[in-house]
A and B are shown apart, each in its own frame.
Chain A
Amino acid sequence: MMVTIKEFPKEEYLLKGHAACAGCGPSIALRLLFKALGNKVIMVVPACCTTVIQGPYPYTSFAVPLQNMLFEATGATCSGIVAALKIRGLEDITVVGWAGDGGTVDIGIQALSGAAERETNFIYICYDNEAYGNTGLQRSGATPYGAWTTTTPTGKKERKKNMPLIMAAHKIPYVATACPSYPVDFVNKLRKAKEIKGTKYIHVLAPCPTGWRYDTSKTVEIGRLAVQTGIWALYEIEYGRFRLNPPSDRLVDKSKRKPVKEYLAMQERFRHLTEAEIEKIQQWVDEDWEYYRKLASNELV
């Protein structure tokens, strides 16, 4: 059953006083995560911005038990927790791995891949701010082409790793993309994931004013532009079946998509891009959409 924003629970399990930056996209996603899953949740958080967001000892801003864990170990740690809960007959507790893009697509990919291959019954969420945010914005495998980071001072020369499709190749029952600018979409995907047995992977594009260099009031707007320009598509792959979700499902026709330049122009991390580079990015986006179109029409199955 889909829920509307009016039906979101009033309870807050991301508590006041957390230590996220102003305008932090991941912290919006965190709040929505708890709206969707409630508090019968055990979370595993590797080294990432959320290490800081939760607050230092002896405080926490989370109203669920949280195991802080090594950078590359989220998938395996969740496997251990899931196994223990099964032995203890506590399978109604949802185990959630919550990791950043570096902890997912780079250093954590092995443990995540292993956990998925073992069909571990858990939800893994990658909140993707497209750089190592917590260490001061270094390039990750999820940083997009052209983006400035502290280790790509003239812009990244390579393309972003497509992690959701890598996870889909594991034949897990549920893969989805999301963005906190579309809270109803995200919350309903989480609710669906909670009901599916096996490994569920949700990749959340989470705008980061600190790293992307835009005004802290613009986080929701930037996320919307990412989707409206099509540089980020909202979709889900349920038991192998690919489906674009609103509003992305209306964007297969290129004329419906805003030019990607509008998204890039709002962020200082892209300000050095030449027209030719912007055109190249636009071309890649269009190619991605041709691929999504084929996936959605089952031409590639």
Chain B
Amino acid sequence: MAQIVIDTANHIAGYAAKAARVKVVAAYPITPQTTIVERIAEFVESGEMDAEYIRVESEHSAMAACIGAAAAGVRTFTATSAHGLALMHEALHWASGARLPIVMAVVNRAMGAPWNIWPDFSDSLSQRDTGWIQFYCADNQEVFDTIIQAYRLCEDERVFLPAMICLEGFILSHTYMPVKIYDQEEIDAFLPPYKTGWILDVNNPFSHANIVSPEWYMEFRYMIQEAMENAKRLIPEIDKEYGRRFGFQYGGLIDKYRCDDADLIICTMGTMGCEAKIAVDNLRREGLKVGAARIRVYRPFPVEEVRKLAENTGIIATIDRHISFGMEGFLASEIKASLYHMEDKPLLAGFIAGLGGRDVTFKTIEGIAKKSLKWMEMGRVEKETVWVDLRE
């Protein structure tokens, strides 16, 4: 029988690593990730989890140890936040380049200076181009489910890439919610034993990742791009199958809410997606045709689905919990890029909100929606990027 556990998303991530039968965990503590690795340490030491837990001396070493273990033939897991993720940066490239299906929880936290322990996406979005699949979760159940789904996806021979499962610090990491945890046999039936494209094997020796000349390097990169495209196709399929088996599914690449006839689509990531749904319901009660689209998978980016969403809408409002300094929010840029080849494009308004943990509530989003609808009626956006609730 599946059981309902009331716990924080961080502890739930630990449950998911256990349920996925992870065999090597290598991690270094950083707020707000710590309770994930504490819970896993308890699981390992109590014998509930048959795994080796490597208490490394840095995040760079955490990822290096995961690379070594994944290459030596076992399923691996790690977790980090903010500066820890930034320190891993070099190793993130190595993991994807080596095509190792490592899964990592990233508990989103703002980058310093100045120090800030509260959530925004500046940590994980700065790792956009490392070749990692990126999922963003909206609640604790989704954290559990996405970790299980991610192993299935990453270990598919059409993919063989690593994935980060992003969840906002404190908003999810330290918030208790009921989560359904399924029977181990059911999870085992969905998630087969560890599979990878190559292995360090004394009976089949070869040098892995030795120097590749310009004659071959581009082909290796192209294969990663192909794998990303495959992942884009597979994520909705895996999500659907997961839904059939366990009852929860998340719309594959985009979690869409009342978008079909919407004049305005509010585009978010992570927990802002939950607030956006409340805002949509409130605005609909006022007779405003508003929908919400939560980008669940940021890499590979759901270009085609975004285009489809944009077909019948007047304006898209993006809310970025991140800023690409000198440009705009990443989500705004990605959506603009996705729409470029459309003949009849909707307007696009970019909003920067919630940096460093500033609250983004349904009320904030209602304000964003009303401003966007006004611009839609005017037929132009007055400001391409709006910083919400900014002291000026």
A interface, CB within 8 angstroms of B: 39-42, 44, 51-52, 54-58, 60, 62-70, 72-73, 75-81, 83-88, 93, 110-111, 113-114, 117-118
Could you say which residues of chain B place their CB within 8 Å of the CB of A55?
207, 210
A-B contact pairs, 18 of them (CB 8 A): A60-B207, A68-B209, A73-B60, A73-B91, A76-B68, A79-B54, A80-B26, A80-B64, A80-B76, A83-B52, A83-B69, A83-B74, A84-B52, A84-B70, A84-B72, A85-B72, A88-B73, A111-B60
Interface of chain A: mostly helix, strand, loop or mixed: mixed
Q: Which of A42, A60, A67, A118 contacts B55 (CB 8 A)?
A: A118
B65 at the interface (CB under 8 A from A): yes
B6 to chain A, nearest CB (A): 32
The 3 A-B pairs at the shortest CB distance, nearest first, are namely: A80-B68, A114-B57, A76-B61
How far, in angstroms, from A84 to B209 measured CA to CA in the complex? 19
B265 at the interface (CB under 8 A from A): no
For chain B, residues 31 to 63, give those with C-beta under 8 angstroms from any C-beta of chain A. 50-52, 54-58, 60-62
**Contact B210–A80 (Cβ < 8 Å):** no
Could you say which residues of chain A place their CB within 8 Å of the CB of B216?
57-58
**Closest residue of A by beta carbon distance from B217:** A57
Known: A65-B208, A84-B23. A41 touches B202 (CB 8 A): yes
How far, in angstroms, from A69 to B86 measured CA to CA in the complex? 18
Could you say which residues of chain A place their CB within 8 Å of the CB of B50?
87
**Contact B65–A76 (Cβ < 8 Å):** yes
Known: A56-B210, A60-B210. A65 touches B57 (CB 8 A): no
**Closest residue of A by beta carbon distance from B52:** A83
B interface, CB within 8 angstroms of A: 23-24, 26, 50-52, 54-58, 60-62, 64-74, 76, 90-91, 94, 200-202, 204-213, 216
**Closest residue of A by beta carbon distance from B98:** A67
**Contact A114–B68 (Cβ < 8 Å):** no
Q: Most chain-B CB neighbours within 10 Å: which of A58, A67, A80?
A: A80
**Closest residue of B by beta carbon distance from A93:** B202
How far, in angstroms, from A84 to B52 measured CA to CA in the complex? 8
**Contact A84–B24 (Cβ < 8 Å):** yes
A221 to chain B, nearest CB (A): 32
**Closest residue of A by beta carbon distance from B74:** A84
Known: A62-B205, A85-B72. A80 touches B211 (CB 8 A): no
Q: Which of A62, A63, A70, A79 contacts B56 (CB 8 A)?
A: A79
